[in-house]
């Protein structure tokens, strides 16, 4: 047996029994020198980080400014654009090409966009680099415009010198510099070498928005043809010379270890098998094909170490999602006040009516369709190439360096297109396969690809936390809410994985969606009670909003009911101080042909009702209306009308599709999804036991973009949070049942 | 060694007979356009055509393939119906992450080869592949466009 445990460097791959939050305590993200440099213990050495910089710059480049770090203009006039972001379906490669192309004066269709390697040039998200938080477009838009404009000016300057004419006489036309007076022109490709050697100017004017040809237009996605013909290449499709295929099997209980293998020799003799290996919390087989490796690893008879018998401090033999929910409900820790306004105690004392409710939402799997994989290859000089799906290249580089025992700049990160992500590909300790690939490549002396089977992915994916919130509202004699008290109990991925840089005691990923509401409720208090989960938790499309907006907006309908008010009218009244939100709510109603709650008879004879909700996720605003019927005891969502105000947009077609995509995931989670633990083990190991939204359950989705001109908000996630409450509120209208625990499939619904 | 006819070419492969066709295509022959999603015939990402019929290649042991003609996404545009389907996929801008779309295009092509003018019910019955990005409405629109 190749026992890899002793070779794992201290602090290397997160041991399942050493909770991954230890990593953040050691400072997985260390703040340094104004900019946030990523490192596990060892921040990126600024001198090394700059070694690839243009010239002998003594200071780190300002992210997003160095033209040659982003643009490679080739002699054949094609352009390679190195994006700070990874494409995973959200359309960012196209959006970046539109933005740079607008100012560079080059049609976006002529860009080939790739995810850039690690480097300080790409830290354009407030000094960080990540693809997530619906941050990509809004964080980089200004910098990418300026980059395109700066490059265009350099091309003009180079052309002026080449043609011997004043620069003012030159113009550009989609990839060419044109001298109208003489009829001469030069392609960007012919000018690039001279142009990119020039000193960039910092005062280049930007194009006037009313002259935009690409920004704000429904430009075709750059990747659609390749994705419709099987040519798009994901991590799982990559192959390197001489690589071994590895299949793994993880410990049934997170944190336990392989102790004995009863039939190792027999398995080692199976066809194609190269080796049998022990990994932290797992066993692996390397072979000449993945199928052979998988067959072999599943044939291993493994005795695992015993988990703790009971409790929620670890994933014990007695751990269950039910026990975790009970622990959240029973938590008696001292709450931290996350938000406070007015005098809540006095308002409750004077209230005519007081209502209370408790809400919960389950652990959720990402279930992105591409199972995770990773290829590690050590080079002769000891450096490492790593092909790895990721949303944060510099962080993966730092962790990989630790695992491999090399310097960060000795790790080359290749970031392929993602076959869906939804938050799956941040670094999540034992839920991340690449450390296994590194350890196996080290052990075998060969390049190794680790691919997790779908069953291993369902067993080891980092999950959206199970969440719980408690509400109490006081209403005055007219039925209007005068006091609202809420408490969110649990743990979120910000605190777990980024606690070292976001040092606020209140974990924003636990309370988002419960705080900063636009409603005029004069007395409010929001508490946070921290209760850690023993399981590996994750970001999941729209993060805390994915459950909190359901909790809040459903409880708001309970307030409406207690006060004898229509839920739409109550929201309008509570939005009296925010014209932006009133406009958006009205836009959703207009899109739906007017608001009506129902129940009512639809043209097809079915009995239907509508629910409404609002949300303020990731800098954007949404208003959502769902129309629902009952079918065989299940909620059937027929239509979703979603009005979204992201301030301004780069590509309205991509925005509409992303909103629809996020809404689909919201429908899926509302109706069907839950990761259930029993006896410390996840119950579902594939899509047969973890159903996701299928074609039959997909509603029509109608999207209206209301570009108010407010600061640009996010797009990838904001379509989701309004969907669960709109559906649940419609179900309440239809059935009289107020569902306070998801998914709906746990209940058999019946008409009121 | 066994012989497979893939996209009109003969390939000799040396694998156990119970190896799913999916992994023979991807790892032995190197045609990676066909995707592994679930391995239990649920998601449809591995859909290929066997003598023109859509099948889930993760559920097809290679020794059951026999002399059947295998068509994968890599050759789908050589089929006139497949070319129409791809054109519709591009025209409607169907894909998001794109990972399931090879299988979706194969399923749509098989449907339209069998039923050139499918009803909405026929589309629903034939297009059962999963899409985590929720492109189902765009897929249905593209199938209707390709059938038009």
Give the pair of three-digit tokens for residue A746.
């746990």
Task: Give how far A624 is from chain B: nearest CA, Å.
Answer: 17
Label each residue of A277-288 as H, E or C: EEECCEEEEEEC
> Could you say which residues from 619 to 658 on chain A have a Cβ atom under 8 Å away from some Cβ of chain B?
653, 657-658
- Give first-to-last CA distance, chain B, whole Å: 44
Q: Contact at 8 Å (CB) between A533 and A466?
A: yes
How high is the pLDDT of residue A752? 54
CB atoms within 10 A of CB A340: 13
Nearest chain A Cα distance for residue B133, angstroms? 5
- Structural domain boundaries of chain B? 2-75, 77-147
Instruction: Report the distance separating Cα A730 and Cα A160, nearest Å.
Output: 65
Could you give the CA distance from residue B87 to residue B142 in angstroms, rounded to a whole number?
9
Residue A537 has, within 13 A of its CA and on its CB side, a CA count of 24
Confirm or reject CATH 3.30.365.10 for domain A324-363+464-746, answering yes or no: yes
Among candidate residues B97, B95, B102, the one with its CA nearest the CA of residue A230: B102
Distance of alpha carbon B91 from alpha carbon B138, whole angstroms? 10
Just give the CATH number of B2-75: 3.10.20.30
- Three-class SS state of A244: strand
Question: Which of A553, A635, A537 lies closest to A588 in space, CA to CA?
Answer: A553
**Whole-angstrom distance, CA of residue B143 vs CA of residue B148:** 9
Q: Is B28 on the interface with A (CB under 8 A)?
A: yes
Q: CB–CB of A230 and B76 under 8 A?
A: yes
| A residues 22-81 lying closer than 8 A (beta carbon) to B | none
For the four alpha carbons of A713, A717, A721 and A727, in that order, the dihedral sign comes to positive
Between CA A414 and CA A395 the distance in angstroms is: 13
Q: Do B131 and A369 touch (CB under 8 A)?
A: yes
The 10 Å Cβ neighbour count of residue B75 is 19
Contact (Cβ atoms closer than 8 angstroms) between residue A4 and residue A439: yes
| Nearest residue on chain B to A87, alpha-carbon basis | B97
Over the stretch A645-668, which tens digit does the pLDDT of each residue have?
A: 999 999 999 999 999 999 999 999
Mutate to test the interface with A, among B124, B131, B134, B139 (most CBs of A within 10 A): B134
Q: Do A224 and B33 touch (CB under 8 A)?
A: no
pLDDT at A23: 29
Q: How far is CA A44 from the centre of its chain?
A: 24
Per the listing, tokens 């860009």 go with: A111
| Contacting residues for A739 by C-beta, under 8 A, at least 6 apart | A554, A728, A731, A732, A747
Q: At what angle do helices B101-114 and B80-92 cross, to 10 degrees?
A: 130
Q: Which one of A230, A234, A657 has the shortest CB-CB distance to B96?
A: A657
Q: Which residue of B has its CA nearest to A371?
A: B37
CA proximity to A289, closest of B29, B46, B99, B102: B29
Q: DSSP letters of A607-631?
A: EEEEEEEEE--TT-EEEEEEEEEEE
Instruction: Please give the sequence-ordered ranges of beta strands (E in DSSP) within A536-633, or none if there are none.
Output: 600-601, 607-615, 621-631
Task: Please indicate if any CB of chain B lies within 8 Å of the CB of A449.
Answer: no
Nearest to A725 by CA among A594, A550, A492: A550
| Closest CB from B42, B76, B139 relative to A687 | B42
Judged by DSSP in three states, A250 sits in: strand
Give B23-48 pLDDT, tens digit per residue.
Answer: 999 999 999 999 999 999 999 999 99
- Whether the CB of B20 is below 8 Å from some CB of chain A: the reply is yes
What pLDDT does A59 receive?
53
Which tokens in the block code for residue A25? 């305590």
Distance CA A744, CA A232 (A): 36
Distance, CA of A498 to CA of A150 (rounded, Å): 35
**Alpha helix segments (H runs only) across A131-248:** 136-163, 188-196, 224-228
* Percent of chain A that is helix, strand, coil (3-state, to 5): 30, 25, 45
Instruction: Please list the residues that pair with A341 across neighbouring strands.
Output: A524
A2-23+235-306+372-451 and A324-363+464-746 have identical folds: yes
C-alpha dihedral sign at B59, B60, B63, B64: positive
Check if B110 contacts A (Cβ < 8 Å).
no
Residue B59 distance to chain A (closest CA, Å):
13
CB contacts, 8 Å: B77 with chain A: 229
Tell me the fold of A2-23+235-306+372-451.
Aldehyde Oxidoreductase; domain 4 (3.30.365)
Domain B77-147: CATH class, spelled out: mainly alpha
Q: How is A424-492 classified by DSSP, letter by letter? A: TTS--GGG-SHHHHHHHHHHHSS-EEEE--HHHHHHH--BBPPEEEEEEEEE-TTS-EEEEEEEEEE--
Query: Which of A234, A667, A687 lies nearest to residue B43, judging by beta carbons?
Result: A687
- HEC string of A342-369 equals CCHHHHHHCCCEEEEEEEEECEECCCCC
Helix (H) or strand (E) run with residue A556 in it: helix A545-562
User: Quick one: pLDDT at residue A725?
Assistant: 98
**Looking only at Cα atoms, what is the longest distance across chain B?**
44
Question: Considering CB atoms only, which of B35, B36, B134 is closest to A698?
Answer: B134
Of A90, A368, A660, the CB nearest to B134: A660
Q: Give CA separation, A172 vs A43, A159, A431, in Å.
A: 43, 10, 49
Does the beta carbon of B19 lie under 8 angstroms from any beta carbon of chain A?
Answer: yes
Nearest C-alpha neighbor of A422 from the set A497, A463, A366, A369 = A366
Neighbours of A80 (CB within 10 A): 13
Query: Looking at chain A from residue 399 to 418, which residues have their Cβ under 8 Å from any Cβ of chain B?
Result: 417-418
- Residue A447: is the preceding peptide bond cis (ω within 30°)? no
CATH number at A62-228:
3.30.365.10
Q: What is the DSSP string of A397-441?
A: HHHHHHHHTS-GGGEEEE-PBPS--TTTTS--GGG-SHHHHHHHH
Residues of chain A where predicted confidence (pLDDT) is lower than 70: 1-60, 752
Domain ranges of chain A: 2-23+235-306+372-451, 62-228, 324-363+464-746
Looking at the DSSP bridge assignments, the partners of residue A601 are A607
Check if B32 contacts A (Cβ < 8 Å).
yes
Cβ separation B96–A90 shorter than 8 A: yes
DSSP code, position B128: -
Phi, psi (5° rounding) for residue B106? Answer: -65, -45
In degrees and rounded to multiples of 5, residue B53 shows phi and psi of -95, 140
Q: How far is B127 from chain A (nearest CA, A)?
A: 8
The DSSP bridge partners found for residue A406 are: none
How much is the pLDDT for A14?
A: 34
Q: What does the alpha-carbon distance between residue A101 and residue A377 come to, in Å, rounded to a whole number? A: 36
Establish if A576 touches chain B: CB-CB under 8 angstroms.
no
């Amino acid at each position: 047996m190749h026992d890899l445990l002793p070779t794992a460097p201290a602090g290397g791959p997160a041991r399942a029994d050493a909770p991954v939050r230890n990593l953040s305590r050691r400072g997985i993200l260390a703040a340094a020198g104004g900019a946030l440099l990523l490192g596990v213990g060892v921040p990126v050495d600024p001198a090394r980080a700059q070694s690839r910089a243009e010239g002998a710059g003594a200071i780190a480049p300002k992210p997003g400014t160095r033209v040659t770090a982003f643009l490679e203009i080739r002699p054949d006039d094609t352009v390679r654009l190195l994006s700070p972001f990874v494409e995973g379906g959200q359309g960012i490669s196209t959006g970046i090409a539109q933005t740079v192309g607008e100012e560079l004066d080059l049609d976006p269709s002529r860009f080939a966009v790739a995810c850039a390697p690690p480097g300080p040039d790409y830290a354009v998200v407030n000094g960080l680099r990540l693809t997530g938080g619906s941050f990509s477009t809004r964080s980089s838009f200004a910098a990418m415009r300026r980059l395109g404009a700066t490059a265009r000016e350099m091309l003009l300057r180079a052309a002026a010198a080449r043609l011997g004419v004043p620069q003012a006489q030159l113009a550009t036309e989609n990839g060419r510099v044109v001298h109208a007076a003489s009829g001469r022109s030069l392609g960007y490709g012919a000018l690039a070498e001279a142009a990119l050697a020039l000193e960039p100017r910092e005062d280049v004017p930007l194009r006037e928005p009313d002259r935009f040809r690409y920004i704000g237009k429904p430009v075709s996605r750059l990747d659609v043809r390749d994705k419709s013909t099987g040519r798009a290449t994901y991590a799982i499709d990559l192959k390197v010379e001489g690589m071994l295929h590895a299949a793994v099997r993880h410990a049934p209980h997170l944190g336990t270890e392989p102790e004995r293998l009863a039939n190792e020799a027999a398995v080692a003799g199976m066809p194609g098998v190269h080796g049998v290996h022990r990994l932290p919390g797992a066993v692996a087989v390397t072979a000449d094909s993945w199928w052979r490796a998988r067959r072999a690893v599943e044939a291993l008879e493994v005795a695992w170490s015993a988990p703790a018998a009971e409790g929620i401090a670890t994933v014990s033999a007695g751990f269950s999602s039910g026990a975790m929910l009970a622990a959240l409900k029973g938590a008696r820790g001292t709450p931290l006040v996350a938000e406070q306004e007015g005098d809540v105690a006095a308002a409750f004392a004077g209230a005519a009516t007081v209502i209370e409710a408790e809400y919960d939402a389950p652990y959720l799997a990402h279930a992105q369709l591409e199972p995770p994989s990773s290829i590690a290859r050590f080079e002769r000089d000891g450096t490492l190439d790593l092909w790895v799906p990721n949303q944060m290249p510099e962080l993966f580089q730092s962790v990989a360096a630790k695992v491999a025992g090399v310097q960060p700049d000795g790790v080359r990160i290749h970031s392929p297109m993602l076959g869906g992500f939804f938050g799956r590909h941040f670094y999540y300790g034992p839920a991340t396969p690449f450390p296994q690939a590194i350890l196996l490549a080290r052990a075998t002396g060969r390049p190794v690809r680790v691919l997790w089977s779908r069953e291993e992915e369902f067993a080891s994916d980092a999950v959206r936390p199970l969440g719980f919130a408690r509400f109490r509202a006081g209403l005055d004699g007219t039925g209007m809410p005068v006091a609202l008290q809420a408490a969110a109990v649990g743990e979120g991925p910000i605190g777990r994985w980024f606690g070292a840089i976001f040092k606020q005691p209140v974990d924003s990923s636990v309370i988002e969606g419960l705080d900063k509401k636009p409603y005029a409720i004069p007395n409010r208090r929001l508490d946070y009670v921290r209760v850690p989960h023993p399981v590996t938790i994750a970001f999941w499309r729209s993060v805390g909003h994915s459950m909190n907006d359901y909790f809040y907006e459903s409880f708001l309908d309970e307030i409406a009911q207690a006060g004898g008010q229509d839920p739409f009218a109550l929201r309008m009244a509570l939005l009296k101080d925010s014209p932006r939100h009133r406009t958006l709510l009205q836009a959703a109603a207009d899109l739906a042909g007017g608001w009506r709650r129902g129940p009512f008879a639809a043209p097809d004879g079915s009995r239907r009702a509508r629910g409404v909700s609002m949300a303020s996720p990731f800098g954007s605003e949404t208003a959502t209306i769902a129309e629902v019927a009952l079918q065989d005891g299940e909620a059937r969502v027929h239509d979703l009308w979603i009005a979204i105000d992201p301030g301004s947009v780069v590509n309205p077609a991509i925005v509409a599709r992303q909103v629809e995509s996020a809404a689909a995931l919201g429908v899926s989670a509302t109706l069907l999804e839950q990761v259930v633990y029993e006896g410390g083990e996840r119950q579902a190991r594939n899509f047969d036991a973890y159903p996701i939204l299928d074609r039959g359950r997909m509603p029509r989705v109608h999207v209206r973009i209301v570009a108010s001109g407010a600061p640009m908000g996010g797009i990838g996630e904001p379509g989701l949070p309004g969907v669960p409450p709109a559906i649940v509120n419609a179900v309440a209208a239809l059935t009289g049942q107020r569902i306070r625990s998801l998914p709906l499939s746990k209940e058999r619904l019946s008409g009121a | 060694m066994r012989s497979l006819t893939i996209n009109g070419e003969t390939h000799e492969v040396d694998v156990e007979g119970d190896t799913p066709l999916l992994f023979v295509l991807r790892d032995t022959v190197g045609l990676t356009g066909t995707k592994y999603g679930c391995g239990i015939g649920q998601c449809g990402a591995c859909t290929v055509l066997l003598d023109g019929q859509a099948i889930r290649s993760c559920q097809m042991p290679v020794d059951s393939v026999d002399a059947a003609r295998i068509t994968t996404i890599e050759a789908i545009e050589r089929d006139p119906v497949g070319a129409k389907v791809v054109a519709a996929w591009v025209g409607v801008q169907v894909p998001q992450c794109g990972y399931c779309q090879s299988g979706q295009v194969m399923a749509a092509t098989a449907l339209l080869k069998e039923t050139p003018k499918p009803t909405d019910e026929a589309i629903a019955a034939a297009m059962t592949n999963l899409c985590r990005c929720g492109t189902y409405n765009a897929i249905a629109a593209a199938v209707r466009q390709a059938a038009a």
